Amino acid sequence: MEKIKLINGIKLLYKRAENNLTSFTIGFDAGANREEKENLGIAHVVEHMLFKGTNSRSEYEINKLCDETFGFCNAMTNYPYVVYYGTTLDEDFEKGFEIYSDIILNPCFPQKGFYEEIEVICAELKEWKDDSNQFCEDSMFYNGFEKRRIKDLIIGTEESVRSITIKQIKDFYEKYYTTDNCVISVVSSLNIRDILKIVERYIGNMKAKLVSEKGIIEENLENIYENNKPGIYYEYRDDLQGAKIQYCFPIHNLSPREVSALKVFNVVFGDGTSSILFDEVRTKRGLVYDISSKIKNEIGIKLFTISLGTSNENAYKTIEIINFEIKKVKELRNFFDKECLLKLCKSYKLRRMVALEKSIQTSVSLCVYEIMYNDGFELFSEFEVMKDITDSEIMDVVNKVLVNATVQVLMPNLESRR
């Protein structure tokens, strides 16, 4: 693995692969966290508009070339980043990288087709709300926070999206699609010298325009967090048969080492079919089909969450059991001895490596880690830190995090069926 900084400030991360595929990601610190309150969703709209045409290619030509060149390609906007990624055969990497470089460096942001694309995004917004798990999480964020960006959807609201103009799109692009905000990651069996030549050929001449108010932006990011509003919140929908339940606990005040301790704990608590939550709620009582807890450590999110689905009549009982299990784990003592910790670290590492088995996932994750933590290769080194975590550190973190939950319950609207 290698990291190289180009003359214009772009960071290139390379990892050797043992196949004839090349996966690459071009990412920017230009996600929804960068938006102002009055233009929610603009980061996602910019992502869409980049594919509407360049100075030399139409939208149709871009789509046709992508179909011909990539086995898989896509783009994604999250709160802390936006990424453009794809996989080609080794011999087509240069062609694929040239296409994406043209999309990113030379967008024309045409007026023609702009309003149609806004309609596409509004349709995506409606589809997003149709997903009951996503809707439950979005409701939890909305009810659980006063001013965090995650209170509103990444793609904004229909009102905010329809109010966005071409000028605002161009301004956002010029401000945040900059060399010091850009990371490129490549996972390939091609050697690093050949990769570097291609990257420099097509994106090395990207002007070294910097975010002039970088310091101000970083300072603002420090203020994007707030404590949650604890309590149980209910939403009702006519189209549901069962109930969805989600918990969240903020972790933005944790140090990196404390986050590592929480990751070790989560292997026992809610990650897997032998976890405490799965065993107590699913295996022993049969109240759910699936239940899990996750650590969302992305900038702007930083939450520990529990998610499950159950029947409407078992919702309250399930919450009662989860709360009881949370109380029990906070009283554990001397559970995480050296032998236990080594097993948990090995289990965590195995699951992470399986998740990164696909080269495109490795590429995206390397890019995202570099954007958020300034260290893409931490993706492969965090296990070493975990081995030194102690029982007392884990229990300190558990008792620090698992308090004052925001609980969102999404239930069928039984009244409307009578």
What tens digit of pLDDT does each residue of 59-102 get? 999 999 999 999 999 999 999 999 999 999 999 999 999 999 99
Percent of the chain with pLDDT over 70: 95
Q: Output the CA–CA distances (angstroms, integers) from residue 365 to 93, 153, 352, 373, in the order listed.
A: 19, 22, 11, 11
Q: Confidence class of residue 216 from pLDDT cuts 50, 70 and 90?
A: very low
What is the average pLDDT across 102-126? Answer: 93
Percent of the chain with pLDDT over 90: 76
- pLDDT reported for residue 217: 46
Q: By the 8 A CB rule, do 347 and 273 touch?
A: no
Q: By the 8 A CB rule, do 348 and 171 touch?
A: no
Asked if the model's pLDDT at residue 215 lies above 80, the reply is no
What is the CB neighbour count within 10 angstroms for residue 168? Answer: 16
Asked if the model's pLDDT at residue 417 lies above 80, the reply is no
- pLDDT reported for residue 43: 97
Q: By the 8 A CB rule, do 258 and 397 touch?
A: yes
Which tokens belong to 394? 């884990």
Q: Output the CA–CA distances (angstroms, integers) from residue 267 to 255, 339, 354, in the order listed.
A: 19, 14, 15
The residue behind tokens 């495109």 is: 360
Q: Confidence class of residue 304 from pLDDT cuts 50, 70 and 90?
A: very high
Q: By the 8 A CB rule, do 120 and 128 touch?
A: no
- pLDDT reported for residue 3: 94
Q: pLDDT tens digit string along 326-370?
A: 999 999 888 988 888 889 888 888 888 888 888 999 999 999 999
Q: Confidence class of residue 211 from pLDDT cuts 50, 70 and 90?
A: low
- pLDDT reported for residue 38: 84
Write the DSSP assignment of 170-181 as a string of letters: HHHHHHHS-GGG
Fold classification of 231-336+389-417 (topology level): Cytochrome Bc1 Complex; Chain A, domain 1 (3.30.830)
**Where do the CATH 3.30.830.10 domains begin and end in the chain?**
2-219, 231-336+389-417
- pLDDT reported for residue 10: 92
- CATH of 2-219, picked from 3.40.50.150, 3.40.50.280, 3.30.830.10, 3.30.420.40, is 3.30.830.10
Q: pLDDT tens digit string along 150-190?
A: 999 999 999 999 999 999 999 999 999 999 899 999 999 99
Q: pLDDT tens digit string along 372-402?
A: 999 888 888 888 888 889 999 999 999 999 9
Give the sign of the dihedral formed by CA 295, CA 262, CA 361, CA 291. Answer: negative
Asked if the model's pLDDT at residue 221 lies above 80, the reply is no
Give the C-alpha separation, 27 to 43, whole Å.
13
Asked if the model's pLDDT at residue 29 lies above 80, the reply is yes
Q: Residue 115 half-sphere exposure, CB side, CA atoms within 13 Å?
A: 1
Residue 234 CB contacts under 8 Å (≥ 6 apart), including other chains: 409, 410, 411
Asked if the model's pLDDT at residue 219 lies above 50, the reply is no
